[in-house]
Chains A and B, each alone.
Chain A
Amino acid sequence: MTSAIKTSNLGKWYKKGVRGQKIEALVDLNLEVREGEVFGFIGGNGAGKSTTIKILMGLNRPTAGQAFIFDTRIDDPAARDRVGYLSEHPQFYDFLTPLELFRLMGTLRRMEGKRIHQRADELLHLVALADASNRRIKGFSKGMVQRLGIAVALLGDPELLILDEPMSGLDPLGRHLVANIIRELQQQGKTIFFSTHIIPDIETLCDRVGILVRGHQKYAGSIHEALYPQGSRFEITVRMPEQWKVEQSSFARKPLLWQKNVLYRFEIEETEIAATVQAVMDQGGSVATLEPKRRSLEELFLQLSEDSVPNLGDAVPTTVS
């Protein structure tokens, strides 16, 4: 399968100040985004997310490594043929109207005039800007410009969308709109690569996630592996008879998470599930719930940000291919 995005030891450093102090914005990024997946890119301020995206979009030049979009090197403008891009703070020629902007961008994407008008009409309706199609962008609010940015990114019906903080600056309705657009595009088989600070968005929208901490890639893998790491523990809630005493049972050594009346919640190993269920039934009880002990992405992110090694076992590759 072709990779939508592939980077190999990608790096970017700047020299700052009179002494030319070297600032490393990105170090040895090895990333692969597969066709048809939604890939979330998390990182704190200055982690290197926007730098990565700017390199991919040809706005910045890498100082080390290589990057490819659909197997085309990013320094070739043709690499952007199949890409739609939304920047963190989209800015357009504010002296133009949205329709004029679409005409310009469509021409740059080699689209025919008729097709440009058709797409402009569809997209302005999609982002609820149809009424403003002939107004100068100068008078638009921040949210309107953000929505216009999404429409511009979708203009060429691209196979890959690169979105830098697509939810930033949007009200809850706008965020809902963007989340729906991402889901719809995913169903159409598009590849979406987006960065965000809003971790719940990643959990609900993404298939895989990459975590950057101070320019270093700390994790890249599936959301499922991140939230439910291999060899993880389970939480079992059991309903036991009233006279049942935990300390006198075979559960005495298991970590008791909480107890309420006849309900008890224990933490168990995955390998203990069958034996535990059997023991509960043997002692006259029943299983109320059984669920894998879930780690939130935020917990993982905070853990990685503090430079501690996450307990993810084999599911923590530094590179994923």
Chain B
Amino acid sequence: MHAFAAIWAIGIATMKGGLRDRLIQSLLLAGFFFLFSTMVFSSFSMRQPMEVAINYSLATVQILAVLITLFLGLNLLSREIESRAGHGVLTQPLSRSAYVLGKFFGLMLLCCIVVAFLALCAVIGVLLVRAGTPNAPLILWENFGLSLMGILLISLLLGAASLLFCAVATSAILPFLATIAIWVIGNSTQTVKNYLDANIADQAMTPQLKAIITGAYYVFPNLSLLDFKVYAIYGLPLAAAQVGFALTYGLAYTIVLLTLATRLFQTRDML
């Protein structure tokens, strides 16, 4: 019972730290202006202003959510260990697992607030575009919502990856760069897999190389699975099984990363 109270208390403190961080406040403010400028950008397209508006809104939310996760992830453990600000908490009667999970809980709360705020701005921006567009196509709001859910899951997965790297790295910059690398790789794995599945790959690479790349595909996250933007933009039908699989995959991957982070942090010496 105490572990839950400790996780909750650390989470709330982490969330407060994020909301009071000038950089994160600036990014949220930038998001506010970007999303309300949707009308301007959508007007560049004569034929598909609604599609452009939805695409632009969701892409802005995604980029800002990931940026905030990266900056917050940087502060989560590495900076705390470097500055010794976390020592006060770590020397209290609680396990290190509770500390790591508390940090993640705080990140989760902050991501939810950030995505909710940006989503509200995005919805208002899209509604304003629709109001100014004659014969606007129907917007599939459930797909729009699922896209936002996917963005939230991607942020949480990257936050967990950041915690994992922070648990082992001795400097703050390495986890930051490694998390960016995971984001880039995660967005490319599906393309690589499609290439491997095509016949052309058998001619272009040795079986050993193909096996290594296939192995890497299963180790690194496939963030494309959590990207439902195209379904929201074009109003395409989404199967429940596909959504269920993607959400399960994202959550499972996040849980695995968190488990590894807590295990590795157990033996970590503080500065």
A residues engaging B (CB < 8 A)?
54, 57-61, 77-81, 83, 85, 87, 89-96, 100-101, 103-105, 107-110, 149, 152
A93-B17, A105-B89, A110-B2 provided; 10 other pairs, C-beta below 8 A? A58-B90, A77-B94, A77-B95, A91-B83, A96-B13, A104-B89, A105-B92, A108-B92, A108-B93, A110-B5
Q: How far is the CA of A125 from the CA of B16 in the complex (A)?
A: 26
Which partner residue on chain A sits nearest B83 by CB separation? A91
Q: Are B84 and A89 in contact (CB under 8 A)?
A: yes
Q: Are B87 and A107 in contact (CB under 8 A)?
A: no
A-B complex: 9 closest residue pairs judged by Cβ atoms: A108-B92, A107-B9, A59-B270, A80-B93, A91-B84, A91-B85, A95-B20, A57-B91, A60-B269
A91-B87, A100-B16, A152-B88 as given contacts; A107 in contact with B270, CB under 8 Å: no
21 A-B residue pairings within 8 Å (CB atoms) = A57-B91, A59-B91, A60-B269, A60-B270, A61-B269, A83-B91, A85-B91, A87-B88, A91-B85, A91-B88, A92-B85, A93-B13, A94-B85, A96-B16, A101-B88, A104-B10, A105-B89, A107-B6, A108-B10, A109-B92, A109-B93
B205 CB to closest chain A CB, in angstroms? 35
User: Which residue in A83, A95, A96, A104 is a CB contact (below 8 Å) of B21?
Assistant: A95
Q: How far is the CA of A210 from the CA of B8 in the complex (A)?
A: 40
Which partner residue on chain B sits nearest A14 by CB separation? B269
Q: How far is the CA of A81 from the CA of B2 in the complex (A)?
A: 12
A60-B269, A95-B16 as given contacts; A87 in contact with B92, CB under 8 Å: no
A89-B84, A91-B85 as given contacts; A108 in contact with B16, CB under 8 Å: no
Q: How many of B's residues come within 8 Å of A, CB to CB? A: 27
User: Which residue in A58, A96, A104 is a CB contact (below 8 Å) of B91?
Assistant: A58
User: Which residue in B6, B21, B88, B269 is a CB contact (below 8 Å) of A90?
Assistant: B88
Q: Are A54 and B270 in contact (CB under 8 A)?
A: yes
Which partner residue on chain A sits nearest B13 by CB separation? A104
Main secondary structure of the interface of B (DSSP, over half): helix
A135 CB to closest chain B CB, in angstroms? 13
Which partner residue on chain B sits nearest A79 by CB separation? B93
Contact with A along B3-25 (1 / 0, CB 8 A): 00110111011001100110000
- Considering only residues 56-87 of chain B, those with a C-beta below 8 Å from chain A are 83-85, 87
Q: What residues of B have a CB within 8 angstroms of the CB of A59 in the complex? A: 87, 90-91, 269-270
Check B199 for interface membership: any CB of A closer than 8 A: no
Q: How far is the CA of A83 from the CA of B90 in the complex (A)?
A: 13
Q: What residues of A have a CB within 8 angstroms of the CB of B95 in the complex? A: 77
Check B135 for interface membership: any CB of A closer than 8 A: no
Check B203 for interface membership: any CB of A closer than 8 A: no
Q: Are B85 and A108 in contact (CB under 8 A)?
A: no
Q: Are A93 and B85 in contact (CB under 8 A)?
A: yes
Q: Are A104 and B9 in contact (CB under 8 A)?
A: yes
Q: How far is the CA of A66 from the CA of B90 in the complex (A)?
A: 20
Which partner residue on chain A sits nearest B18 by CB separation? A95
Check B267 for interface membership: any CB of A closer than 8 A: yes
Q: What residues of B have a CB within 8 angstroms of the CB of A149 in the complex? A: 88
